[in-house]
A and B are shown apart, each in its own frame.
Chain A
C-alpha cells in the first residue's frame, strides 16, 4: 500500500471529519434504517390500508377505486349482522376445542416419544406427515372420507354392520367432524414444538430428583411441566393465532354448514370480501378478528410474564 495515496488534502480532511462526525452522531439510526423502512413498507402500510378500508366504503367503478369515508358505520353493520355473533361463537368453540385437545394430545405424544429409545426418527417422521400436507388436500381428502354414501369411514362402519352417520350434514356432528380433521392436521405442529422443548430441558434436575426418590409422575408434575411452561405457552399462543384464522378445511368440508353450524369468522370474511365484494365491511371484520387475536396474544404474554416472575 502506498501511504502517499492515502494522504488527504486539508480540505478533504475537513469534509471527511465533518462527515465522519455526522455519521458517528447518526450511526445508530443508519444501522436500523433498512429494518425500519422494510417494516414500514411491509407491515405498517398494509395495516394502515386495512384500517383505512375498515372506515370506508370502497368500490371499483370503471377500473378506478372509489373511497368514501364512513366512520364507524361498519361497526353498526356488524352489530346488526346476524351472522357475526354466530360466526364468533363458532370460532371461539373451534379455537378453544382444538387448542386444548391438541395441546394435551401433543404433550402426551411428545412425552412418549422423548422417553422412547427406539424408532424415535420414525415416530417424528410419521407424526409430521399431516403438517406437510396442504390444507386444501386435507379438506378434500376428509371430505371424501366423510361422504355419507361413498366415504371410507361409513363404508368401514358398514363392514361391522354399523350405520354411518351423516358426518358433515348433521348440525350436531358437523363441528366435531371439523375439529377432528383439525386435530389430525395440527397436533403435529404442537408435537414438534413441545418435543423440542422437552429435549432442551436439563436432564440433571430429573436425575437429581430420581436420586432423591421422586416418582415419574412427581417429576412430570413438579419438574418437567413447570420447566416446559414457556414452551407450552409459545405453542398455545401460536396455535391459537392459527386456529382463529382457520379457513381452508372448513371451506372444503362444510362450507360453513349445515345451516350455520360451522360458519367461522374467516369464512364469513371471505364471503363478504370475495362473494359480496363489500371491501370496507370485510376489512372491518378482518380488523376485528386481528384485534381479538391480539387480546389473546397479550393474555398469553401476561400469563408468561407472571409465570416467569
Chain B
C-alpha cells in the first residue's frame, strides 16, 4: 500500500514537474516579441543638469520636448560633450540622458538599438568606420525625413560627405541624402616640438622630406626621430597615400565603375616613405604603437614629431600627463610636396535611429540643431571638445590657450580626405591593416603588401556586386 502510494506520488510529481517545465517554456515562447528583443535596462547616469529640475516654462515658451537618450563613447572629448549637454538642458529645459559606453561596446549597442522594436537611444554616435553600414541599411533616419525644411549650415564641415549617403552609387557622395550630422571633427594634425626644432634651426615641416630631415637631425639616444601609428596603421598610411595623390579605391562617377588603385606607383612611394620614417627613425618597438602609446611618447619627450589625431592636443598641455607643456606646436599634416598636404577624416557623426516615433525623432533633431549652432560649438570647443564648424575654428585660432592647434585645424580643412566609404569599408580596412602591418615588420615587401592588398580589395568589391575595373598588376 505504501509502495503503491509512493509510486503514485512519484508519478504525479514527475508528471506535474514535466508539465510545469513545458508550460513555462511555452509561456516564454509565446511572450511578446519586444520583450525578447529589447536591450537590457541601460546603465545611464543622468547628467547633472538632467538630474536637476527642469527649467520652469512660461505659457509663451515652447513646450519642452520629450527627454532623449544619447549613446556616447567614453573618449577624451566626452567631458566637452557633457558640458554641451548640460548647457542644452539649462537653456531649453529639455532633458537629456547620456549612456556613456567604452569604444569597444559602441557598435554592439548601436546595432542592438536599431534592431529592437523601438530604439532605447534617440541619438547614436557613429564612428567613421561604421556609419556607412547604418546609412546603407537604412538604420538611421534621413534628416529630411524628420524635418523636410532642414538645411545644413554651410559653416558645418562635412568631412568629404561623411554626412551623406548616395544609395544609387552606394557610397558617401556630395549628391547623397543627408543621414548624419558631425559631432566630433577629429582629423589628423602634425605635432612637433617647436623648442627642439628652433634649437636646430628647423622650420615647421611642409613635406615628408622635411620630416625626414628633422628626424635625422633630432634622433639621438632616448629620442626617436619619428613614430608611426602601427595599431592600426591604415588611417595614418592613408594620409601619406593621399599626399602622394593616391587612393585605395577610386570611383568613376560617369561609368559607376570602381578602380582599385592601392598598388599604384603613388601607393608605393607613399608606403616606402611611411615605412622609412617608421622603421629607420622610430623607437625599437615601432611595430607596436597605438594612439595612446604615441601620445605618451610625445608627452614624455621621447619623440619630437608625429602625425596624430587633433583631439590629442589637450594632452600635451595637461600638467598631469605632459612634460612638454608649451613646447608642442601643430600644423597641417605635410605632403609629398608643398601644397600636397593631406589629412584624414576620423570623425564621429550622430544619427537618429529609424525605429523611433516621430516625437522622439523631432526631439533628437532639436538637440542636434542646437548643438551645431555657432554659439554652442564655441562653448563646445572651449570645453575641450573638437568642434565641427569652420567659423568656430577660425575664431578659436586666436584663443590664447587652444589657438595653437585650433589654427592648425582651421588650416587643415581644405586638405581633408576620406577613407573608402562603402558598406564594405570594414573589410577593406581589415585588409589594409593586415598588409601594412606585414610590411612594417618586413614579413612581406612593400610591393607585395600593396599588390596582395589590392587583389583582396578587388575581390571584396567584386563579390559585393560592384562594377570593378580589372586590377592593374
Contacts and interface: CB of A to CB of B under 8 A. Distances in A.
Q: Do A and B come from the same complex? A: yes
Interface of A: 20, 23-24, 27, 30-31, 33-34, 37-38, 41, 59-63, 65, 77, 80, 82-83, 148-150, 166, 168-171, 254-255, 257-261, 271, 274-278
B137 A61 contact: yes
Contacts of B437: 257-260
Given A30-B18, A257-B231, A259-B441, A41 B25 contact: yes
Given A275-B426, A276-B430, A169 B287 contact: yes
Given A33-B18, A259-B437, A260-B434, 7 more contacts: A30-B15, A33-B21, A62-B138, A63-B115, A63-B139, A260-B443, A276-B426
Interface string B13-37: 0110110011001000000000000
Interface in B246-290: 283-288
B434 A83 contact: yes
Given A30-B14, A34-B17, A259-B443, A149 B230 contact: no
Given A60-B111, A276-B426, A257 B355 contact: no
B151 interface: no
Contacts of A149: 283, 285, 293, 296-297, 300, 302
A264 to B, nearest CB: 14
Contacts of A260: 434, 437-438, 443
Contacts of A23: 11, 15
Contacts of B8: 20
A38 B17 CA distance: 13
Of A65, A169, A260, A271, the most chain B CB neighbours within 10 A belong to A169
A77 to B, nearest CB: 8
A253 to B, nearest CB: 10
B242 interface: no
Contacts of A27: 11, 14
Given A259-B440, A275-B426, A276-B427, A34 B287 contact: no
22 contacts: A23-B15, A30-B15, A34-B21, A37-B25, A41-B25, A61-B137, A62-B137, A62-B139, A62-B354, A63-B115, A63-B354, A63-B355, A82-B452, A83-B434, A148-B283, A148-B284, A148-B288, A149-B297, A166-B288, A168-B288, A257-B437, A260-B438
Interface string B432-444: 0010011011010
A276 B288 CA distance: 23
A20 B11 CA distance: 9
Contact of B426 (A20, A150, A277): A277
Given A27-B11, A271-B430, A34 B18 contact: yes
Interface of B: 8, 11, 14-15, 17-18, 21-22, 25, 107-108, 111, 114-116, 133, 137-139, 230-231, 283-288, 293, 296-297, 300, 302, 354-355, 426-427, 430, 434, 437-438, 440-441, 443, 452, 456, 459, 463
A275 B424 CA distance: 11
Q: Name, among A82, A83, A261, A276, the residue most crowded by chain B CB atoms within 10 Å (CB to CB).
A: A276
A261 B434 CA distance: 11
Contact of A169 (B14, B286, B297): B286
Which of A38, A257, A260 has the largest number of chain B CB atoms within 10 A? A257
Contacts of A63: 114-116, 139, 354-355
B365 to A, nearest CB: 19
Contacts of A38: 21
A278 B427 contact: yes
Nearest to B438: A259
A254 B133 CA distance: 27
Nearest to A64: B115
Nearest to B452: A82
- Among A27, A34, A65, A171, the one with the most B-chain Cβ atoms within 10 Å of its Cβ is A34
Contact of B441 (A61, A258, A275): A258
Contacts of A77: 463
A171 B21 contact: no
Contacts of A257: 230-231, 287-288, 437
A198 B288 CA distance: 44
A59 B424 CA distance: 12
B114 A148 contact: no
Contacts of B440: 258-259
Contacts of A83: 434
9 smallest CB-CB distances across A and B, nearest first, come from A169-B288, A148-B285, A169-B285, A258-B287, A166-B285, A34-B21, A276-B426, A259-B443, A169-B287
A61 B138 contact: yes
A80 B426 CA distance: 18
A258 B14 contact: no
A60 B115 contact: yes
Contacts of B438: 259-260
Contacts of A271: 430
Find the residue from A166, A259, A260, A261 having the highest chain B CB count within 10 A: A259
A62 B167 CA distance: 14
Interface centre among B231, B302, B437, B440 (most CB of A within 10 A): B437
A33 B438 CA distance: 55
Which of A63, A80, A150, A274 has most B Cβ within 10 Å?
Answer: A63
A80 B430 CA distance: 15
B133 A277 contact: yes
Contact of A82 (B21, B107, B456): B456
A259 B430 CA distance: 12
A117 B287 CA distance: 49
A255 B231 contact: yes
B114 A60 contact: yes
A40 B292 CA distance: 47
A153 B106 CA distance: 34
Nearest to B286: A169
A274 B133 CA distance: 12
A33 B23 CA distance: 12
Nearest to A31: B14
Contacts of B293: 149
Contacts of A31: 14, 18
B290 to A, nearest CB: 8
